[in-house]
């Protein structure tokens, strides 16, 4: 049976809907809690895909002894890009994917935390975007951004971070925004990451995110499921 290897960087940033939809597609989940020492694979087998999740550390932390797995992930991603293997990177995962493809990763002009519209490009032609609207309200939770990797297809943007989603070759996708989260996970992030939210959005920022989650999550969940299903379909059958 095909397997989805998930690289998880913190206890609270698991695959959520990405994992559930992978199972829906007939994949088994192999979640690697790399922050507690689970190994990063050196390569993928022909029946495996890779999902790289988010986390508060950054690409610039590769080489920091606190995060020994980041360098291994970059090496793995470079190998997978070269061989057009199936990869989905979300938030930090997208930044690692961009860096592995040779792009610059750096602090954004300001943190993007909370709900904001994402503009998609090529919904009429890109298989990964089929069924999405030109603009979808989605959740953001990051302070870094990246340049578009050379040769990548630009899939989405926001005013703060013009490079929100991209595709490299046929089967590597980076998503800066969070389309995989359930509402209960958003609430946990607001609680556990209160200082980060305060620094990004000021007093009352957490309460606004929770209110916006009630307002936007029903449509966002449909859009996110559509996007993730499209990406998994793009991965195709096992090699």
Catalytic residues: 91, 178, 180
Neighbouring C-beta atoms of residue 237, cutoff 10 Å: 8
CB 24 within 8 A of CB 61: no
Neighbouring C-beta atoms of residue 116, cutoff 10 Å: 18
Report the alpha-carbon distance of residue 225 to residue 136 in Å, rounded: 12
Angle at 131 between CA 127 and CA 137, to 5 degrees: 115
What is the torsion angle, in degrees rounded to the nearest 10, for the CA atoms of residue 108, residue 110, residue 115 and residue 117?
-60
Tokens of 199: 């620094």
Report the alpha-carbon distance of residue 62 to residue 54 in Å, rounded: 14
Helix 194-201 crosses helix 205-235 at what angle (to 10 degrees)?
Answer: 100
Q: Phi-psi bin for 145: left (phi > 0), alpha (psi -120 to 50), beta?
A: beta
* Pairing label, strands 153-157, 172-175: unpaired
């Amino acid at each position: 049976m095909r397997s989805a290897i998930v690289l998880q960087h913190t206890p609270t940033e698991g695959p959520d809907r990405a994992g559930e939809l992978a199972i829906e597609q007939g994949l088994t989940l192999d979640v690697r809690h790399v922050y507690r020492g689970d190994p990063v694979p050196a390569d993928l087998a022909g029946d495996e895909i890779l999902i790289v999740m988010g986390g508060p550390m950054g690409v610039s932390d590769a080489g920091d002894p606190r995060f020994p797995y980041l360098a291994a992930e970059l090496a793995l991603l470079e190998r997978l890009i070269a061989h057009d293997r199936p990869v989905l990177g979300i938030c930090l995962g997208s930044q690692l994917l961009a860096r592995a493809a040779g792009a610059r990763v750096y602090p954004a002009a300001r943190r993007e935390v909370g709900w904001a519209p994402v503009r998609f490009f090529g919904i009429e032609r890109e298989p990964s975007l089929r069924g999405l609207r030109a603009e979808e309200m989605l959740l953001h939770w990051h302070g870094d951004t990246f340049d578009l990797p050379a040769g990548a297809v630009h899939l989405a943007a926001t005013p703060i971070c013009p490079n929100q989603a991209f595709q490299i070759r046929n089967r590597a996708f980076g998503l800066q925004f969070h389309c995989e989260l359930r509402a209960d996970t958003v609430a946990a992030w607001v609680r556990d990451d209160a200082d980060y939210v305060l620094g990004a959005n000021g007093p009352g920022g957490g309460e606004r995110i929770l209110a916006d989650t009630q307002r936007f999550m029903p449509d966002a969940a449909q859009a996110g499921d559509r996007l993730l299903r499209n990406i998994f379909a793009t991965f195709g059958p096992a090699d």
